Amino acid sequence: MTHRYHPDPAMGDHPDAIVFDGCAECEARADLGIQGLVYYDRETFDRLWNRMLDVEKDDLEGHRNKTEQKLCRSLYCMALLMGRYMPGSTPWERRGTA
């Protein structure tokens, strides 16, 4: 599986998207749920985490596409579990640094 070129304005890609609809690799990773997140480098993971916080915690502009929404929903579920079952964990206060 390979990535298609992105962001591609001709495909309707949002210029601020992190992952992309119509890219077989991005969509396959998103379909794996939480497991799909292990394929991302630190910078991309941090950007996804920050986007999840922006949307879920701060109610800012929504996800840029459905593929991004899938991955960020997996992160949201992970953050919920961390906050609920890991004493001292404060996932809602952490921001990715990349």
Domain boundaries, the chain: 9-93
User: HSE-up of 54 (CA within 13 Å, CB side)?
Assistant: 15
Query: Residue 26, class by beta-carbon neighbours within 10 Å (0-12 exposed, 13-18 middle, 19+ buried)?
Result: buried
What sections of 1-98 are H helices per DSSP? 24-31, 42-52, 66-85
Phi, psi of 30 (to 5 degrees): -65, -35
Distance CA 8, CA 12 (A): 7
Q: Is the pLDDT of residue 33 over 80?
A: yes
pLDDT digits (tens, 9 = 90+) for 44-97: 999 999 999 988 877 667 899 999 999 999 999 999 998 899 888 878 777 776
Reported confidence tier of residue 1, pLDDT bands at 50, 70, 90: low
pLDDT at 59: 67
